[in-house]
Structure 1
Amino acid sequence: MSNVTRLRHVLPMSSDINAAVITLDKAIADAVDTAKAAGLPQGLIVSLLHGHAHAQTHQMVTQ
């Protein structure tokens, strides 16, 4: 796990990192809004987000 960075250790974050976080957050929020508007059940949206978070965590700890 040497490639995992704890954000509290790199504060203050660079403007590039802040911009990337804001962009990612907006993209996720927009995708959730689109899914809700399309009628996807909230539980399905949550389970998909949880699955992606789990997969990314697994990828971080195994590399």
Structure 2
Amino acid sequence: MSNITRLRHALPMNQDINKALADLDSAIAKAVDAAKSAGLPQGILVAILHGQAHTETARMVNS
């Protein structure tokens, strides 16, 4: 997913955050590739990712 714009923040992000973001990006990319290779329909993949994003957003808003 190297074509994604890097996050910018008003303050510099520390190296731990940058590493966590890079690891997360890599893990998601590998999981998506594995799902595609296994034949998972693209619509289901998109629905799962969208559902996870919605759930995390709700958690942040309600915390």
- Normalising by the smaller structure, the TM-score range is 0.7 to 0.9
Identity of aligned residues (%): 55
Structure 2, unmatched stretches of 5+, are 1-7
Does residue 9 of structure 2 align to residue 8 of structure 1? Answer: yes
| Cα distance in 1 between the residues matched to 2:10 and 2:53 | 22
> Deviation of residue 48 (structure 1)?
0.3
Q: So what's the TM-score if we normalise by structure 1?
A: 0.83
Q: What RMSD over aligned residues (CA atoms) do the two structures have, in Å?
A: 1.0
What is the TM-score with the length of structure 2 in the denominator? Answer: 0.83
1:48 corresponds to 2:51: no
Q: Which has the higher relative contact order, 1 or 2, with Cα contacts under 8 A spaced 6 or more apart?
A: 1
Runs of 4 or more consecutive aligned structure 1 residues displaced over 2 Å after TM superposition: none
Instruction: Report the CA distance between 1:9 and its aligned residue.
Output: 2.7
Q: Does 1:32 align with 2:20?
A: no
* Number of equivalent positions: 56
Gaps of 5+ in 1: 1-6
3-state SS, counterpart of residue 19 of structure 1: helix
